[in-house]
Structures are given as C-alpha cells and as structure tokens.
C-alpha cells in the first residue's frame, strides 16, 4: 500500500547525492537525465546513477514490507468476521496484500538486491515499513475503516507511482492500484451497512474507529513538503510525481464528501471548506507522534515485527520442502 517511509530517510542521513564522475559516467549521466526529461521509462538493464538505484531500492522494498506487515492487523480479524460474505472479502483482500508484497519484492530484485537480503533488513529492524500498520485494529469497524481510509490514502499515494520512471515498479503499481480500489470500496461498503442498517452501538463503533484512524492516515502522505528534502530529488528523477502536501490535500478533499455520505464526523474541528483555495483547510498534524511511531515506539511496532519474524521462522519447513522438491525435479530431468 504505502510509500510514506521514503521520506523518513531524510532524518537518517539520506543518500549522498554528489560524487565525482569519470568522462564515461558523465556521458551516461547526461543521457540518463535526457531520458528522464523526455519522460522515458528506465528498464532494469539500463544504466542508472547509483543514487537513483539506491533510492528506488529503498522505496520499493519499504513498500513491499508495508504490504506484508499490513496483512497482520487485518489478518487477525479473518476468524472473527461477522458474516461469511465479509470473511470471504477480507480473506481476498489480505491475500491481495500478500501478492502486492511479492510483486514489489520482485521489482526490487531487478535492482540487484535479493529477497533474502530485504527480508533480513525488515526482520532486523533496519528497514522501515509504513507506520500506519503500527496502530491496532480494536473492533470490526476498524477493518472497514482501514479499507476506506488506509487503502484510500494508499490509492492516492500510489496512482502517481504508476507513472514512475522505473518501469518494473510502474508496471507492478498498475496491477496493485486496480486491487486497491476494491479494497477501498469494500471498506466503505462495510461501514455504510453499519451506519445505515446497524444499531446505535455499531454506529458508535464506526465513529470511534474513524476518530482513531483519521490523523494517522493523514500522516501516511509523509512530512510536509518543506520538511522533506528527498522530495525534490525524487521529483527530478520521476520517482515521485506529486508532493506529499498535494496528495494529502487531495485525499482530504475527496474524503469529506464520503464521510458525509456515511454520516460520520471527521475528528478535526478546523476542517472546513476554503472558497478562495477551493480546498479544505484542516487542523495541525501532530508530527511528533509520526516520528515516534517511525522510530519504533508506536502502539504495536514490537508486536508486528515479532509476528512477522515468527511467521518467517514457522514457514522455514515450507521453503525447505519447496527447495528439496525443486532439486529432486531437476535431478529427475537430468537423468531423463
Ligand atoms: Fe496493497
Ligand atoms: Fe490494499
């Protein structure tokens, strides 16, 4: 789903952007820049500057990790879904997220890092994933709200990545975005049923979930543009097409009407239409909370990582069996 973490590197030193180039490299660099300026797509075998490769690797692997960790808060509701229909939908959604992770790991591998290296970086805490998944899903209404708001924010973030200059990432994103719209719709539909046909207690449950998820969702777009030094380079390279603040504003403007349709209140007393800007004004985001969660101190950081590592360890026998099977098949082929 989720790309916010790219910007967090600014606080961690980021990549060094300047280095002395040889004449050959200078020529390749100029050709690369011209292709980017012309709106060309870069393929895995094409020459690319080291920092372009590193930036993409960081972003795509973080994105892949987010899809995989994002399965956890929803997965724990599959057995508790209220009806067979909702269970089937949730199961399909969580499987989609697993598939997104795999497309993205494959896209990142084209840049020269193995899946094992990426998984190791996640499990050791070196690699980040979207901080939104460090919040708990306390009730069934949280599952609808995650679909509506978290997947909704993810779509807003991800549609521009379908035009990312790195072609394998852009291609993966086209498939992913189609599935993300189903995720958003199923979440909205689930909340609509509770709001229109449910009990007062169910309506209160939806409002409570929206109150808890709204602000963390706004943080999914990353820090404000003036605090995101990586933004400009990402834009220059055609990796990032639209700035954090622009995407956040678009998300808010689109969500206000949907909230009205649902009959829920977005928890921001300063949220109001600004005729002059033709956009909604909104309250101040608590960025200290964002940085705290990114640094590992959110409500569920430790639990999520521990679950992920356990799932990996528990699955070791499956990987071993698959390798043994592949080895047996290739021996049989050689013998034939
Ligand atoms: Fe996804
Ligand atoms: Fe999704």
Q: Decide if 73 contacts 135 (C-beta within 8 A).
A: yes
CA of 135 to the centre of ligand 2 (A): 16
pLDDT value at 7 more than 70? no
Confidence band, pLDDT 50/70/90 cuts, at residue 229 = confident
How many angstroms separate the alpha carbon of residue 176 from the centre of ligand 1? 6
Ligand number, closest to the Cα atom of 2: 1
Q: State the pLDDT at residue 18.
A: 57
The overall average pLDDT reported for the chain is 92
Q: Residue 325: pLDDT above 90?
A: yes
Ligand nearest to C-alpha 130: 1
What whole-number distance in Å separates Cα of residue 15 and Cα of residue 96?
32
In the prediction, which pLDDT does 5 show? 42
Give the pLDDT band (50/70/90) at residue 4: low
Residues near 209 by Cβ (< 8 Å), separated by ≥ 6? 138, 139, 141, 142, 144, 145
CB-CB contact of 301 with 293 (8 Å):
yes
What is the arithmetic mean of pLDDT over 310-322?
95
Distance separating alpha carbons of residues 235 and 109, to the nearest angstrom: 23
Ligand closest to 176 (CA) is: 1
Distance 177 CA to ligand 1 centre (A): 8
Q: What is the pLDDT of residue 124?
A: 94
Question: What share of the chain has pLDDT > 90, as a percent?
Answer: 86
Task: List CB contacts of 17: < 8 A, sequence separation 6 or more.
Answer: 51, 233
Asked if the model's pLDDT at residue 23 lies above 70, the reply is yes
Distance 154 CA to ligand 1 centre (A): 8
Ligand nearest to the CA of 180: 2
Burial 78-106 (b: 16+ CB within 10 A, else e): beebeeeebeebbeebbebbeebbebbbe
Is 90 exceeded by the pLDDT of residue 145? Answer: yes
Tokens 């300026």, residue located: 37
- pLDDT score of 1 more than 50: no
The per-residue pLDDT for 232 is 82
Both tokens assigned to 269: 């007393």
Separation of 88 CA from ligand 1 center, angstroms? Answer: 17
Cα 239 to middle of ligand 2, angstroms? 21
Tell me how far the alpha carbon of residue 102 lies from the centroid of ligand 1, in angstroms. 10
pLDDT tens column, 151-199: 999 999 999 999 999 999 999 999 999 999 999 999 999 999 999 999 9
Q: CA nearest 239: which of 22, 89, 53, 109?
A: 53
Strands (E), the chain: 272-274, 279-281
pLDDT at 19: 65
How remote is the CA of residue 162 from the centroid of ligand 1, in Å? 14
Q: What is the pLDDT of residue 336?
A: 77
The pLDDT tens digits of the residues spanning 41-74 come to 999 999 999 999 999 999 999 999 999 999 999 9
The CA 328 to ligand 1 mean position distance, Å, reads 35
Whole-number Å distance between alpha carbons of 311 and 140? 24
Give the Cα separation of 153 and 181 in Å (integer): 11
How much is the average pLDDT of 88-95?
97
């Amino acid at each position: 789903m989720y790309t916010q973490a790219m910007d967090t590197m600014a606080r961690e030193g980021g990549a060094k952007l300047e280095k002395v180039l040889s004449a050959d490299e200078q020529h390749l660099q100029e050709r690369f820049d011209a292709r980017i300026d012309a709106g060309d797509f870069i393929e895995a075998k094409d020459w690319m500057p080291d920092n372009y490769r590193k930036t993409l690797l960081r972003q795509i692997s973080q994105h892949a990790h987010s899809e995989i960790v994002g399965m956890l808060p929803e997965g724990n509701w599959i057995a508790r879904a209220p009806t067979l229909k909702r269970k089937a939908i949730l199961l399909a959604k969580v499987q989609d997220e697993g598939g997104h992770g795999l497309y993205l790991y494959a896209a990142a591998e084209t840049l020269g890092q193995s899946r094992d290296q990426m998984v190791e970086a996640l499990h050791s805490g070196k690699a980040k994933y979207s901080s939104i998944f460090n919040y708990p899903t306390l009730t069934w209404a949280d599952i609808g709200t995650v679909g509506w708001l978290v997947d909704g924010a993810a779509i807003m973030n991800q549609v521009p990545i379908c035009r990312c200059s790195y072609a394998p990432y852009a291609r993966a994103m086209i498939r992913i975005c189609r599935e993300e719209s189903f995720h958003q719709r199923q979440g909205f539909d689930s909340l609509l049923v509770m709001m229109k046909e449910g009990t007062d207690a169910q309506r209160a449950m939806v409002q409570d979930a929206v109150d808890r998820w709204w602000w963390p969702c706004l943080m999914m777009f990353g820090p404000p543009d003036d605090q995101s030094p990586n933004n400009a380079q990402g834009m220059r390279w055609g990796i990032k097409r639209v700035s954090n603040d622009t995407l956040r504003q678009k998300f808010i403007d689109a969500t206000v009407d949907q909230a009205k349709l649902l009959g829920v209140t977005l928890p921001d007393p300063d949220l109001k239409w600004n005729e002059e800007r033709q956009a909604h004004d909104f309250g101040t985001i608590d960025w200290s909370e964002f940085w705290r969660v990114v640094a590992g101190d959110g409500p569920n950081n430790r639990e999520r990582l521990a679950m992920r590592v356990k799932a990996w360890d528990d699955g070791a026998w499956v990987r071993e069996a698959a390798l043994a099977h592949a080895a047996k098949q290739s021996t049989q082929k050689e013998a034939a």
